[in-house]
């Protein structure tokens, strides 16, 4: 678990993406129906959303809550 209150925003964001990259890529791949260019675009769009909404993620979120939060940001 990462404590975001002790990290700067950039580090917290980078670690969040590193931990959940595989799930993010997989969800975008299925949404793009196997189109690699569209998948890359979706991953980039979701990454921007995660950056913009990072403050909404609780600093004391468990690993499961964090994964769920990333999942729902990706779905929306």
CB neighbour list of residue 54: distance below 8 Å, 6 or more residues apart: 4, 9, 12, 13, 16
pLDDT digits 0-9 by tens, 32-62: 998 999 999 999 999 999 999 998 988 788 9
Give the global pTM.
0.81
Average pLDDT value for the chain: 88
């Amino acid at each position: 678990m990462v404590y975001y209150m002790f990290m700067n925003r950039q580090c917290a964001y980078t670690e969040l993406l590193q931990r959940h990259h595989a799930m993010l890529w997989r969800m975008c791949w299925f949404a793009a129906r196997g189109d690699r260019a569209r998948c890359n675009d979706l991953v980039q769009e979701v990454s921007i959303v995660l950056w913009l909404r990072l403050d909404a993620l609780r600093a004391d979120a468990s690993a499961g809550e964090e994964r769920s939060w990333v999942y729902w940001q990706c779905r929306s």
